[in-house]
Each structure stands twice: as structure tokens, then as C-alpha cells.
Chain A
């Protein structure tokens, strides 16, 4: 081992032995930061990877996919595609979702792929557990035959010839397990968790006779895929798309990009706060070993080696924290994957949770390595300042008695000026727009804001108490204890400034996000209250499961309109259709409904003018209402026109109004149902909003609807009949679920900030053992020593919380007006949630005092004589 490393090892181990608790706290802090970051990154990757894996598995050798949106398309198109040069094979596909209706796994959804099994049982990367005898081949294509992936069959405890009760679309079918799908390759395959049916059986099961969801094409290797795609486009209706399978993954990635990015950035907060913790620890280590540094310098250690000594010590903490954090992160990620995939399915597109079981896999080791690198980098970055400070130690001064804090006093003013400058920079950074849809300057403004306040922390710690006569004899016992505590805290503006900053950052982000989320929720509540006015909503039985349930499962027959309208207490029934189509490369929701009826009974929150008037105008002029998010994204406004490729060809639509909508960040178009039906040839309905006559009571009508429709469902599940209150609650539940992860990440950052307080107080207690011993010697009780430390904790807490409130206020403005607006395009009405803020502050105060309690107790129990001997 090189001599320097031997010295380093010697010094490191001595320090760790001397301060085991501080070392442990620091490593825990780093580990927590790393775990949050690793968990979010892993979950993010895992969810999309499982989506990609599913796409690519099902695609098999497919080079191009032809699809026609959510409603499916006529299967006759296949014949036309076969005529195109370069097309080797054309395979019809149905891609829907079924839900298990009985058994232990009731309510679990499974993706069902309908394929031409006779032609394809050998080409898609799975093999069937059944021998392909002629009779077996015939049994494959029976209408109730379903093949289950091996893992799914095991989980559902099913084997060949067992029966399984499935909800397919709106129909409930008893299917027979005709065989098990085995993975042919060594790599994990999504077939193991899917179900396969013959295409004809799937068409019948999902009520899609004569329709397809997709056509998979294998192209001739001699021709370029793009050339074949061009050829295909010439024979397809304009609204249909031809794309490579991988494009779908990219689309979903694009859709959830802002969501993932914001989550990732939030997960870095823990690392940022952890950096303060490391700074704090290393600054203490430098101050504590100032004399030692002087000795090293005196005996010939170079400045760079002194710096390296401290940097490597921090690196070691990062290394250990990285290992622990990665392991914790992997465990946390497994929990997050389910939450995240649920949220993405709620809001964007159906994705399933990954396979889980990351422990000891190749990915686990990659994650661990990543975590260690993150831990080391963050720790060493946090230690740069103290390490440089150590390397610049003046040998003579270090060896002579003296206080280096005195020199830091000079920098406090300079830091304050820098802090104010950074706040000005924050203001300037909040002005520019996004770059490529990413609010780059908004994020930079956030960093600048936090850095600015962190620079102001030392002056707040040091100057605040000196402005007033805080001590004096009239203050009594508490006054003097408070005075000593405050004076001591203000004597170390460097170290305490860092602790206060860590608390400030944790709290500012907590408050900023809290205000943003509460404001957002308030806005959504207002929007729901103003726009969701139907008394009852009749919806498909699995409608509340969002996109997870597949296209067919989210539609109802149009004939129900008459059934519902015939109920005496029903005053009006709207037919609401919601499908996803591609507009200018964006996947948007096209909503169609009876606009005149809606104008009479409900409203949209339009940006300009009156809702009813504009709804009627849109119906009259075959115009559109466009959501704010989409208008911003497409760069259109009231009065513009928009071209959309419909199944009937390209059509120009005037934009009558722009409305606020918070149901999706992908954007929404609203048109009259008659117009939609004429262009899309789709008469299905997603839900029926029902308006009751005045004085009609809800429950009897609801019962009557269920009763009347039970005949119409034809053996399927009865529809959901949701009251207005229930629907509003469901919308807000989805909202709360979406932000659950945010709260978890915030909590981690606050816990790390609390570790910072414990760290500082432990340091303070260690340094002041002599002072405490003196107080004990002149008659101070142990409870009074405890009080002293708690006062110090309270003082740091007050300054940190004060700054955190200021930071949180500004941060919420940045989040609402800049980051969220630029990421998602939503207008959020800002509110100050006083109650929640008080709770956050009380929580921070309690956490601070709890963090102070243990060092205080420890301080009070130290032997007096040992303390008096301390130099």
C-alpha cells in the first residue's frame, strides 16, 4: 500500500473510532439520499422497461405495426396490405384486457392478445405446452379457449383444462385453459404474464367481430422498412398509423417524460440535503483536527494531500452510504414500482408493474454500483469546501491556540451578498420558457433560490441575536439558558449555517411542494365542482381502473341512451365518448358529447367568454373546444383552425374555445357527438352522464337504472352507476394517489435534514463538554444542561424554519407558475393552505426538538470531572 494511503487509512480509522456516532449519522444520511434517488430511478426504469418488454415480446419478428386508434378498424384492410411490395407477412392482432372475476386473484387484470394461432403459434417467441396434434390445433381456436403465460397460470393456480371466469370488454365469459405459454428464449418474456386467444375467439369475446386493434407486418429484408411503410400508407385511411414497434415505447416515454422528470428531480432533493450533512460533518472534522492539520503540514504533508485526506474520508462515507442506500433503494423501488405503474396507468397509458425480485440480479449489482457512485460523488462534492479550507490552513495559526471561526465571520457578510445576488438571479431565471418542453431555467431557478437562502443562513444565525439585548439578569433561569444557547449557536455561523440550510432546504421543499399540491388539489376541486354536474354517471363496470382495462372494456352500447331516458325521474342523458387519437404527433383525448345538452345542464371552464354560448357555437359550426394544455402544446388559440386526420379523411376544425382541464396532461379536444360519429363512424359510448329531474332522489333512480340495464348487459357485469359525489371523490383519490410518492420523497429529505440537526447538536455537545461540566460544577442540574441543548436546537430550528418558510413560499411560486406550467401546461390557482403549513411547521419544530433531545440527554449524563479536564 502506498505510504499516503497508509497514512490516510490510519487517520480515517482513528477518526471513525473517535466519532462513531457522527460517522454513523452521516452514513445514514447519505444512504437515505441515495436510496430515494436509486428507488425512483429504478422504479422509473422498471415500469417503462416492463412496458417495452411487453411491446417487443408481443411484436416478435414484426417490423411494422398498423393501428387505427382505440376503436379498432375494419379487418378487410388486411387484403389491401398484402398487395404492397416488401410485405412478407401480415398478421391480425387483438390487444385487449380481461379481468378475473372469481378466485383468489379476483379483479386482477391480464393483457389478452388475439393472434391467428394456426399461423403464428410458432413465430412469436412462445411455445405451447400442448402437442400440436390436429385435434389440439382445432381446440386452440375454439371460442372459449385461452392460453395462459406460465407465471400467470402458476399465480392464478390454473392448469390445462381448468376453467377461468373472465370479464372481457363488457362480457363475462367462462374460458377454458387450453394450454400454457412457455418462454422460448433465455431472456425474461412478457408472454409469461399474458393470455393468448385465437384471433376469431378474441374478436367474439371482446365484441369486435370484423374489427382489429392492430396488424403486425414482417417486411422483406431486401427493402427498407421505411419504404414499405410509405407503401402501406398509400392504401390506408389517413387516420391509421404505420410505425415500428419500438415507437410505441418511445411514445409512452414521451408521454410520461415530464412526470418522470419531476419525480426524478424531487428524488434528488434527498441527495442535496445529504450534501449539506456531509459538508457539516467534514467542516466539523476540519475544525476538530485543525491542530492536527497544522502538525501534518509542519511535518511535510502537501496542501493537496491534506485536501485529498478529507475528500477521501467523505468519499468513504459516500461509499458506505452508497452501498446501504442502494440496498434500501432496491427494496423501496419494489414498493414504488406498483405505485408508479398504477399512477401512470391512471393518468397516461396502461403499464404493468415489473417482475420485481431485483435482489441479487445483474440489475441489482448495476443499481448498487450506481448508488455507490452517486454516494461518493455527492459526498465528495459536499466535502469540497471543508477540504479546501483544510488545505489552506495556516500552519502557525493552527498550532497556536485560536479560533478559526473568527475568520469565517468575515465571510458571513460576503455570503449574504452572494445570497441576495442569487435571489435576484432566481427571479431572472424564472422568466425564460422551457427548452424542449423541459423547464430547465425553472429548475435552475429552484437551485439558485435554495443556494441563495443557504448563503443567507450564516448571517441569520449570527446576526439575529446580536440585534437585541437577548440576555441579562432579568431573563431569569430560562433567559440565561436561552442566552447561552443562542450565543453559542451564533458563535459558529459556518457550521450552524449549514445545519440551518439543510433544515431550510428540506422544509422549503416540503412547504413548496405542499403549497403546490394543495393549490393544485384546490384547483382540481373547483374544476370538478364547476364541471362535473351530472347527478349520476353510468359507466362500464371496470371504468374506474383507467387505461389499465383496455379500449373495449371502456365502452357501452349506444342503445342504453333510450333505456336511461325512459326512466321517469331522468331529465336528461348525455352520451360521452372519450377515445385517444393522434393529432400532430401528440396522443390526445378526443371527447365527444351532445354539446347542446351539455350547454343546458353543465359547463366547461372556458378561458374566455361564456361556456354555454361557446358549446352551442361549437355544435353549430362543427367546431372544437381545446384544453389549455393542448392549445399551449399545439400553439393554437380561440379562432385558430386545427387539422385532424379522421377515419373519414383529414378535416379542418375551427377552435371555438379553450378550456381548463385537469383530467390529463396529454391534452383534450371536445366536439359534438354527431360530428364525431360522422367522422369516426364510432357510435359507442364511454359513459352516460345522467341528470335527474328536480326533486328526484338519487338512490331509487340508481336502483332503477341498475334494474333496467341488467337485461341489457347480456350476462356481463352490471354497469357502474356512480353518484356525483362518488365520482368527485374518485377523481380526487386519483389525484392523491399521484402525489403519494411526492410525500414519501419529501419525508426522506426532511429526515435527512433532521439527521443534520442531530449531527450538529452532537458536535456542539462534544465541543462543549467543558462548559457543561462547569455548569454542573457550579450547581447546574442535569435537566438544566438538557434544557441548554434543547434551546440550542430550538434556536437552530427557528432560524431554519423561518428561512424554510420564506424558501417554501418562493419555491411554491416557482413550482406553480414556472415548473408545473412549463412541464404540464396546467394553470393552477395558488392558495395558502394555512392549516397544512401550520402542521408542517409544528412537525418541523417537533422533529427539531426530538433531534435535539437525544444529544441533550447525552450531554446531561456526561461525567463532570472528564468534562472539566477537556481542553
Chain B
């Protein structure tokens, strides 16, 4: 068995914007998956909101994700068959919210990510940057307290990438969300309050409000 993470001990305070950088295979994404409950640690403990997640069932993790966590993926992971607004509405529907509330919230999110004019378009009809905006809107639609962003700029050009990072930063700050960002991009990491560098499954160093990170 290969240990993806070893001796990772850290605390992230509410409202912080923390980035993790490091080479491929260093365990950044695994860390994110563990925090989201998508993967379970073989040992160790993740505490969310002061509550241990050690003995949570799959259904309890689902509930936490539905209420507390929003995730943005590198590959966007929008549902192909749904329009932009339907994708944003999805987590709200999964929570069982009523139609009027959902419509209001979707409108608001579309407005905040600047995609109102593309609301009825399907993912295939949107550019990479536009898809990621919709994905961010979807991740934040239900007002999560924790936003996990896994290489959000990995599949888009640097110009659009800067816009996406600015958007995440702006939305997170205004919403008071805690953000965990995993990225290869120095430019993207600059949006964070501080940056953890990882190598071989371990946290190597922490840089405050970084200006330069070696990602080798």
C-alpha cells in the first residue's frame, strides 16, 4: 500500500483562504478528498467545525457535503444534460429546497459569476472559463462554509484563470467562506492568504501571502 499522506497536521481557521501547492502525486488532491469525505483516511482524524469525522457514515458525510461543503473541480464536472442554471440549482435541489427559493438563489449566483446571459446554455455550449464560473456558482449556491477548489484553473488559459481566481477570492471573502485551494499554478496560489507546499505526502513549508513558489 502506498501512503498518499503522512504526518499531515494542520489547522485552518474559519474564513481563511489556504492554498496547497506541490508536484503531481504529492497528495494535494488526496488531502482535499479527505476533507470532503470523498475518501477516508486509513489513520488520523479530520475535524470539521470542531467535530470529529472519524466515525461518520457515508450518509452523514453526504449530509455534510450537502450543507457545509462546496467543491470546484479542475475538469468542471458539470452535468452535461443540464443547462447552466439547472447545474447551479442541483445542490439546492439535492437539499430539497423549494422551487421559488432555488430560482431566487440561482438568479443571484448567475449574477455574481456574470453568467446570467448564458443561463439556458448547456455545458457543451460554454467555454472552459464559462463552465468553471458555472461550477463555482454551483459550489457556492447552497452557501457552504467550506469551499474546496481542486486545480480550478488547470483546464483553462491563464487569462481566464486569473479571472476565475479573482472570482473565487471575491466570492469567498464576501461570503465569509473558508477556502482550500489545490493548485500547480503560482499565479492561482497568489490568491490565497497562505500557501502550504507539499512533497511526497507531507507538508513541507508554509508561506504567508506568497509571491513566489517553486513547484518543480
Our verdict on whether A and B bind, yes or no, reads yes
Query: Inside 8 A of B69's CB, which chain A residues have their CB?
Result: 779
Contact A868–B77 (Cβ < 8 Å)? yes
Task: Say if the beta carbon of B168 comes within 8 Å of chain A.
Answer: no
Which of A472, A473, A484, A779 sits near B79, CB closer than 8 Å? A484
Task: Say if the beta carbon of B138 comes within 8 Å of chain A.
Answer: yes
**Chain A binder among B86-94, B159-167, B176-184:** B86-94
From A486, which residue of chain B is reached at the shortest CB distance? B81
The answer to whether A868 and B62 touch (CB under 8 A), given A477-B93, A775-B79, A778-B90, is no
From B105, which residue of chain A is reached at the shortest CB distance? A473
Contact B62–A473 (Cβ < 8 Å)? no
B55-69 interface mask toward A, CB cutoff 8 Å, 1 = contact, 0 = none? Answer: 000110010011101
Task: Say if the beta carbon of A774 comes within 8 Å of chain B.
Answer: yes
Which of B58, B71, B86 sits near A778, CB closer than 8 Å? B71
Task: Say if the beta carbon of B149 comes within 8 Å of chain A.
Answer: no
Contact A784–B85 (Cβ < 8 Å)? no
Q: Which of A696-712 contact B (CB under 8 A)?
A: none
Q: Give the size category of A's interface with B.
A: 20 to 34
Q: Interface centre among A777, A781, A863, A868, by most B CB within 10 Å?
A: A777
Task: Say if the beta carbon of B80 comes within 8 Å of chain A.
Answer: yes
B80-104 interface mask toward A, CB cutoff 8 Å, 1 = contact, 0 = none? Answer: 1111011001110111100100110
Task: Say if the beta carbon of B31 comes within 8 Å of chain A.
Answer: no
Task: Say if the beta carbon of B106 comes within 8 Å of chain A.
Answer: yes
CA of A488 to CA of B79, assembled, Å: 10
Task: Say if the beta carbon of A557 comes within 8 Å of chain B.
Answer: no
Contact B62–A781 (Cβ < 8 Å)? yes
Which of A472, A488, A771, A779 sits near B94, CB closer than 8 Å? A779
Task: Say if the beta carbon of B146 comes within 8 Å of chain A.
Answer: no
Task: Say if the beta carbon of A385 comes within 8 Å of chain B.
Answer: no
CA of A49 to CA of B190, assembled, Å: 88
Contact A779–B66 (Cβ < 8 Å)? yes
A588-628 interface mask toward B, CB cutoff 8 Å, 1 = contact, 0 = none? Answer: 00000000000000000000000000000000000000000
Query: Inside 8 A of B93's CB, which chain A residues have their CB?
Result: 473, 476-477, 480
Q: Which of A680-696 contact B (CB under 8 A)?
A: none
Task: Say if the beta carbon of B189 comes within 8 Å of chain A.
Answer: no
The answer to whether A480 and B90 touch (CB under 8 A), given A473-B102, A771-B80, A777-B71, is yes
Contact A484–B82 (Cβ < 8 Å)? yes
Query: Inside 8 A of B138's CB, which chain A residues have their CB?
Result: 778
Task: Say if the beta carbon of A124 comes within 8 Å of chain B.
Answer: no
A286-301 interface mask toward B, CB cutoff 8 Å, 1 = contact, 0 = none? Answer: 0000000000000000
Contact B94–A483 (Cβ < 8 Å)? no
Q: Interface centre among A473, A488, A774, by most B CB within 10 Å?
A: A473
From A479, which residue of chain B is reached at the shortest CB distance? B93
Contact B77–A774 (Cβ < 8 Å)? yes
Task: Say if the beta carbon of B139 comes within 8 Å of chain A.
Answer: yes
Task: Say if the beta carbon of A211 comes within 8 Å of chain B.
Answer: no
CA of A780 to CA of B71, assembled, Å: 13
Query: Inside 8 A of A480's CB, which chain B residues have their CB?
Result: 82, 86, 89-90, 93
Query: Inside 8 A of B39's CB, which chain A residues have their CB?
Result: 863-865
From B85, which residue of chain A is reached at the shortest CB distance? A473
CA of A865 to CA of B29, assembled, Å: 10
Task: Say if the beta carbon of B133 comes within 8 Å of chain A.
Answer: no
CA of A476 to CA of B101, assembled, Å: 11
Which of A483, A484, A864 sits near B38, CB closer than 8 Å? A864
Contact A491–B38 (Cβ < 8 Å)? no
Contact B62–A487 (Cβ < 8 Å)? no
Query: Inside 8 A of B77's CB, which chain A residues have their CB?
Result: 770-771, 773-774, 777, 868
Task: Say if the beta carbon of B33 comes within 8 Å of chain A.
Answer: yes
Query: Inside 8 A of B28's CB, which chain A residues have their CB?
Result: none
CA of A359 to CA of B94, assembled, Å: 58
Task: Say if the beta carbon of B196 comes within 8 Å of chain A.
Answer: no
Task: Say if the beta carbon of A474 comes within 8 Å of chain B.
Answer: yes
Task: Say if the beta carbon of A501 comes within 8 Å of chain B.
Answer: no
The answer to whether A777 and B38 touch (CB under 8 A), given A473-B102, A480-B93, is yes
Task: Say if the beta carbon of B203 comes within 8 Å of chain A.
Answer: no
The answer to whether A868 and B38 touch (CB under 8 A), given A777-B71, A778-B91, A779-B142, is yes
Task: Say if the beta carbon of A776 comes within 8 Å of chain B.
Answer: yes
Contact B95–A779 (Cβ < 8 Å)? yes
Contact B96–A778 (Cβ < 8 Å)? no
Query: Inside 8 A of A484's CB, which chain B residues have their CB?
Result: 79, 81-82
Which of B59, B82, B96 sits near A477, CB closer than 8 Å? B96
Query: Inside 8 A of A488's CB, which chain B residues have their CB?
Result: 80-81
CA of A782 to CA of B59, assembled, Å: 8
CA of A865 to CA of B86, assembled, Å: 24
Task: Say if the beta carbon of B115 comes within 8 Å of chain A.
Answer: no
Which of B36, B99, B142 sits near A777, CB closer than 8 Å? B36
Query: Inside 8 A of B62's CB, which chain A residues have their CB?
Result: 776, 779-782
Query: Inside 8 A of A780's CB, which chain B residues have their CB?
Result: 62, 66, 94
CA of A646 to CA of B9, assembled, Å: 109
Contact B59–A781 (Cβ < 8 Å)? yes
B131-146 interface mask toward A, CB cutoff 8 Å, 1 = contact, 0 = none? Answer: 0000000110010000
CA of A784 to CA of B58, assembled, Å: 13
Contact A483–B106 (Cβ < 8 Å)? no
Contact B79–A774 (Cβ < 8 Å)? yes
Q: Interface centre among B81, B90, B139, B142, by most A CB within 10 Å?
A: B81
Which of A472, A474, A491 sits near B81, CB closer than 8 Å? A491
Task: Say if the beta carbon of A571 comes within 8 Å of chain B.
Answer: no
From B70, which residue of chain A is reached at the shortest CB distance? A778
CA of A628 to CA of B129, assembled, Å: 78
* Distance to closest chain A CB from B173 (angstroms): 22
Contact A473–B33 (Cβ < 8 Å)? no
Contact A782–B58 (Cβ < 8 Å)? yes
* Distance to closest chain B CB from A471 (angstroms): 6
From B58, which residue of chain A is reached at the shortest CB distance? A782
The answer to whether A476 and B99 touch (CB under 8 A), given A779-B91, A784-B94, is yes
Query: Inside 8 A of B17's CB, which chain A residues have their CB?
Result: none
Contact A865–B89 (Cβ < 8 Å)? no
Q: Which of A769-803 contact B (CB under 8 A)?
A: 770-771, 773-782, 784
CA of A863 to CA of B61, assembled, Å: 13
The answer to whether A868 and B99 touch (CB under 8 A), given A480-B89, A484-B79, A778-B91, is no
Task: Say if the beta carbon of B20 comes within 8 Å of chain A.
Answer: no
Query: Inside 8 A of A781's CB, which chain B residues have their CB?
Result: 59, 62, 66, 94
Which of A473, A777, A782, A868 sits near B89, CB closer than 8 Å? A473
Q: Which of A464-481 contact B (CB under 8 A)?
A: 471-474, 476-477, 480
Query: Inside 8 A of B38's CB, which chain A residues have their CB?
Result: 776-777, 864-865, 868
CA of A863 to CA of B38, assembled, Å: 8
CA of A472 to CA of B100, assembled, Å: 12
CA of A778 to CA of B71, assembled, Å: 7
Contact A779–B86 (Cβ < 8 Å)? no
A104-125 interface mask toward B, CB cutoff 8 Å, 1 = contact, 0 = none? Answer: 0000000000000000000000
Q: Which of A643-670 contact B (CB under 8 A)?
A: none
From B124, which residue of chain A is reached at the shortest CB distance? A403
CA of A774 to CA of B99, assembled, Å: 22
The answer to whether A868 and B73 touch (CB under 8 A), given A476-B93, A480-B86, A779-B65, is yes
Query: Inside 8 A of B59's CB, which chain A residues have their CB?
Result: 781-782
* Distance to closest chain A CB from B157 (angstroms): 17
The 13 sampled A-B contact pairs (Cβ below 8 Å) are A484-B82, A491-B81, A775-B79, A776-B62, A777-B38, A777-B73, A777-B77, A778-B138, A778-B139, A779-B65, A782-B62, A863-B39, A865-B33
Residues of A within 8 A of B (CB): 471-474, 476-477, 480, 483-484, 487-488, 491, 770-771, 773-782, 784, 863-865, 868
Other contacts beyond A476-B99, A774-B79, A780-B66: 19, CB < 8 A: A471-B82, A473-B99, A473-B102, A480-B82, A480-B89, A484-B79, A491-B80, A773-B77, A774-B73, A776-B65, A777-B36, A778-B70, A778-B71, A778-B138, A779-B62, A779-B66, A779-B95, A863-B39, A865-B33
Task: Pick the 8 closest A-B CB pairs, nearest first.
Answer: A487-B81, A779-B66, A774-B77, A864-B38, A781-B62, A779-B65, A474-B99, A779-B94
